[in-house]
Structure 1
Amino acid sequence: MVLNREQFDAFRMEIATFGNIPILSKYCGIGCVFCKVHTDSYLGHYPKIPAIDKEDLVKGFEYINPNVNYVRLGAGVLVAPHTDPFLHPDIYAFIKIAADYFPTKKITTVTTGAYIKEDKIDFLKSIPNYGIDLSLITMQEQREAIIPRSARERTMYLLEHAPLNKCTLMFTGNLDDIKRDLELLYRLGVNKKVRQILVRRMEHTATSQPRLKKLSQACIDTYEECITWVKNNYPDVIFTVPILKDVFRGGNNEYFIDADERIEKQKEIIKSLPEGTFVNLICPLSGYDYFTNAFRDVPNVKTNLIENHLYGGSVSVSGLLNHKDIREQFNPEKNDVMILPNEMYNADGCDLLGEKIHELELYYNAKIILA
């Protein structure tokens, strides 16, 4: 093993929390404008990891959730987020090892494709449970402005020949771009090869570079129009849902299904509490209105909006909520029980800033339930 104790602990946490196996911390050098790594001071809490070896990899397999149907090799969410898996000298061997170890799971690598070797495509295609999650972003005129190391010709080769599991487009704010990108993918038959084509919104944080903020805001301003068009013209294409609004129903309904299931579970929990218990639901911007409407007739329940000040910008998801923001914004008059999103916590039970849940319980002198 090449990982020391501190490195392995972070490595293990990433795997157990997100299902990603981070294999090295080498900076990819692709220069994607939307990458937040260089402006995210929080990521500095985690150690950089060298290129792992086979022993590290196999040891990491022990922390994969047996209930998930995928294993991702490469960059992590928190650990080694700024790399490309194909920079690892043993990536092709690692893919085969993982595929053999988990024959019933899909092995994937999230990549722009810039470092995939064309002469390895046949080898990758020979592995039945492997597929590339290709971050295509866009193939239109803005590609080089968004992805400086765009590898346009190699990317076209991958679209035509590589074993693809997923293809992600990023809406740039230009509806014509997304139209032409989808036309390209369907003309190449990519839609018949992949598990999903995903359209996503560009996001930014308070500390993002001005160029990204401008691009992201243009995307945000017209994203609803984009998704309305996508739903009408490519109903099998899925899309990210930045906020639970009716305009985003359709496509990938999992967001609404998950929200409705969560609401039902929360209502069951609330019913089981002693009569008169006052419950505060902690909600990010992405779900606040939806959950407020769902609980409008439930007595002794209040939904509380917590904006993300840690990252700022357009960040609105529950997974990036944190104790610091809650303490700054949540000052209840009544508070017997708090219900928080379980996505706030990693596999070690810590929030983004490393605090355990009991620290928040002590601060508010209230019981906290994750649901």
Structure 2
Amino acid sequence: MMIHRLATRAFHSLDPEDAHTAALAGLKLGLGPWALVTDPILKVDLAPGLTLPNPVGLAPGFDKNAEVFGPMLRAGFGFVECGTVTPKPQAGNPRPRLFRLSEDRAVINRMGFNNDGLEAFAGRLAGRRWGVVGANFGANKDSDDRVGDYVIGLTRLWGLADYLTVNISSPNTPGLRALQTRAALDELLGRLAEAALALPADGRRPMFLKVAPDLEDGEVEQITAAVVAHGLTGLIVANTTVSRPSLRSRHAEETGGLSGAPLTDLSREMLTRFRAAAPPGLVLISAGGIGSGAEAYARIRAGASAVQLYSALVYEGPGLGAAIARDLARRLRADGFKTVQAAVGAG
């Protein structure tokens, strides 16, 4: 653990995007931690056919191109979500587009869905052998039919991942968040449901919708109603924010999505709002501002069945997922819970 923390500090001497590239290279060489966490108390039956060894997941953005999900699973994450992937490869926005806000333990990114494209991504997923891996898919920036891009993604990824996430919440693809309106959601989710009916039944997997934390009054209820109406498994709450709480870093005014510690309160609030709007069977995964076992436990007690993190790794290193999972197990036992599910929504 110490050597990986030292390496994390050393990476801070590099440009953030170069540091991320170097981290991926190291993981591919087998230099990441090995710390599988399979404590029985942490096992979560998230949905039919989807069982997690522990509820601490790696959020998308770290492994955009499905290159290092194996090393990150070995590092102790209960599941890894790869992506966001788009049908065609795209370079994303011009650099610099990733900023560390070290004083705030935060990150701002305006990456713009840079990725190798659907074919390369699907090919890597097809070769996997173990672990729980999700696929997060979106639309190309220059697409004339964004809903059509999602249908292409669904079709190509069908049966290759353990679950699928429809990402309509990135602030870095102009107009993408407009898909969160009820009318747009009905069109998108309706077309996805129609496409799914034509695909082999044995490839069906749980599907989630990933939403933004920047929602107005009434939008939470409309989004929840659409997800229920179209038969999705649940929601991932939430992506990065375009809001700017009080920040100390010189990068505070950079455009893009803010993540990390300053997102904690907003993410908690959005989770609470979605839990209040959702029927009991709708699964919620909480993301945003999670960097400790205490925060992961708080999200579970607030109604999340699992959590995801990414930005905290920038400051704590790849062993953080395992550390949070172990701390979560201790907290569950200390409060007399025998399973994660028993603590979900316990207040």
TM-score, L = length of structure 2: 0.39
Q: Which has the larger radius of gyration?
A: 1
Q: If the length of structure 1 is used for normalisation, what is the TM-score?
A: 0.37
